[in-house]
Structure 1
Amino acid sequence: MSRVGVVFGGSRGIGRAVSWLLAERGHRVVVVSRNVEAAQATADSLPGGEHVGLSCDVSREQEVQRAFETITKTCGPVGYLVNAAGINRDALLLRSKSEDMVSVLHTNLLGSMLTCRAALRSMLSKGGAIVNIGSVVGVKGNAGQCVYSASKAGLEGFTRSLAKEVASRSVRVNLVVPGLIRTDMTAGLKEEDAGRRIPLGRFGEPKEVAQAVLFLLESPYITGQVLLVDGGLRLVM
């Protein structure tokens, strides 16, 4: 059955790959990004028709509310929500600026809370599925990424708790945890060196994470789960 799928951070990387797979499955996709031109360009490039691009800063409550008001009016109730928007401001904790810490936490953790709360207004009556995007460093930690790790680790507790809250209303909530994926965030890493640490011997592709997201969105008896898509990286960290 065709649904409206909203993908925050949907104009690039993992979010873009998720948008593509949802469109290929026949769903109507709302691509959300801070950059409305990038969001609309991605929406226009997707297979099928009537996809929408919107601008929204997930860290700002009023912008999230306005985005969902627009989505509901133009597309109808939300069936799928994917939270792939995220930023990093990597630094040792002693060198981290307070404003950077707040920005990371507000975007990566609070932003997902705000979008989930807004999406639930339509999901609670019709059911739906949510997938949040974490990170392997949120599971294992990493020097120089204290704040980023905390923001992603927080998503696990949030995801499990929300899954318990809304299961009786046929809303499922899961977390996908990528490892080193070939995106803008990993562009500065030397892939040949970093790849040696990964049991499967290479970085992952955004589409490989997107396949896991789609699996969880469409699996009717899975909720409150954490699925690592990391090529085995957690095994050696």
Structure 2
Amino acid sequence: MYDWTNKVVVLTGGASGMGRSFITHVLSHGGIVSFGDINTALSKSLLLQVHSSAPRLVSRLLFTKTDIRDANQVRHLFDRTKEVFGKIDCLLCVAGVNLPDSFLPPAEARPATANMLNLEINLIGTINTVYAGLSYLKSGASIVVIASTAGIYPSSVQPLYSASKHGLIGFSRSLAPILPEGQRIFVLAPSTYLPPHQQSTSGLKMSGQMDNSGDDDIFTKVIRNTLGFVEMSSITKVLDESLESAQSGQVIEINPTAVQSVAFPVPTDKITLMENSLRYHVCGIEEKSAGDNTKVKEEAVND
């Protein structure tokens, strides 16, 4: 199991759902959490809960109101964390939403313009967070991005949400090779889960974000009768295991029956050459496993 002892974690979206479960997990294993969330009321309820149930942990939990769409607020979250705790070992990007999709029928009920909050929060907000975090993370730090199986497979009932999660996976895989030495970014992509307190009830959580309560909710019924729900304990277990062994750029799918590293199409030799050459000339980064292929890269530019 990953050793959280005195590790300082910055986490977005900690007031509820998956983020709140991660906070409980990290604190219970000796870690320190600085979390940002836009929901002040729920965040304060978490602080009060910790104060009443485990007062010795209060000094290891810091809340900063944060809208991840606002780059200034995100930087303030990191500033406070560094000021209070002195370092940042891990960034957990959990914050997100799953709002009703503007593309769903009937067509006559569609708004004049699409609601882009799924993209603005899930994708742009997370990019804001990672971008700011790179200026604060210590050497050897890990960035964990929470996506979804809807970012691996198409999801016709939520195309905008699916687009945001596909974007997170593409962003993380593309960023991985140019991160500073020793840092890594990887993605956890869980299918639908129920938080621990909802394991025996309805109350759908789509990768930690969408909440449709009520026994008659069609999403809950269909998912329960088909794929089933991932337990939060399975997700925290994969988080621990991934922090021990995941490679930068790796995408790990978590569903009720299997946990697997996602296999993406293997690029052709020419695409690989193009990518390596561009990375070398634009970023000054050599392909570590390819040996000395500077000449090949020069030829790719000069041809």
1:72 corresponding residue in structure 2 = 82
CA root-mean-square deviation: 2.4
- Report if the CA contact (8 A) 1:197-1:233 is conserved: no
Tell me: CA distance 1:78–1:98, structure 2 relative to 1, closer, same or farther (3 Å): farther
1:232 Cα shift?
A: 4.2
Show the 5 A alignment for 1:17-56: 17-46=21-50, 47=54, 48-50=57-59, 51-56=61-66
Deviation per residue, 1:82-127 (Å, 9 max, x gap) = 11111122225263664621x221110111111111111122x432
CA distance in 2, matches of 1:31, 1:153: 25
Find the partner of 1:14 among 15, 18, 22. 18
Is it true that 1:163 corresponds to 2:176 in the alignment?
A: yes
CA distance in 1, matches of 2:66, 2:166: 24
Show the 5 A alignment for 1:32-181: 32-46=36-50, 47=54, 48-50=57-59, 51-93=61-103, 95=110, 98=113, 100-101=115-116, 103-123=117-137, 125-166=138-179, 168-181=180-193
Structure 2 letter corresponding to 1:27: G
Find the partner of 2:248 among 215, 223, 226. 223
Deviation per residue, 1:170-220 (Å, 9 max, x gap) = 11111011111113615344434422211xxx312333222222332x315
Identify unmatched segments of 5+ residues in structure 1: none
1:16 Cα shift?
A: 0.9
Tell me: CA distance 1:207–1:54, structure 2 relative to 1, closer, same or farther (3 Å): farther
CA distance in 1, matches of 2:45, 2:20: 11
Give the match's secondary structure for 2:82: helix
Find the partner of 1:187 among 196, 212, 215. 212
Deviation per residue, 1:112-146 (Å, 9 max, x gap) = 111111111122x4320111111111211112311
Identity of aligned residues (%): 24
- Report if the CA contact (8 A) 2:35-2:64 is conserved: yes
User: Which segment is superposed worse, 11-20 or 179-188?
Assistant: 179-188
1:44 Cα shift?
A: 4.7
Quick one: higher RCO (CA 8 Å, sep 6+), 1 or 2? Answer: 1
TM-score (norm 1): 0.86
- Report if the CA contact (8 A) 1:105-1:148 is conserved: yes
Identify unmatched segments of 5+ residues in structure 2: 195-204, 260-303
Give the match's secondary structure for 2:152: helix
Give the match's secondary structure for 1:118: helix
Dislocated runs of 4+, deviation >4 Å:
none
User: Which segment is superposed worse, 28-37 or 143-152?
Assistant: 28-37
> Whose helix fraction is larger, Structure 1's or Structure 2's?
1
- Larger Rg: 1 or 2? 2
1:67 Cα shift?
A: 1.6
CA distance in 2, matches of 1:108, 1:6: 17
TM-score (norm 2): 0.68
CA distance in 2, matches of 1:97, 1:90: 15
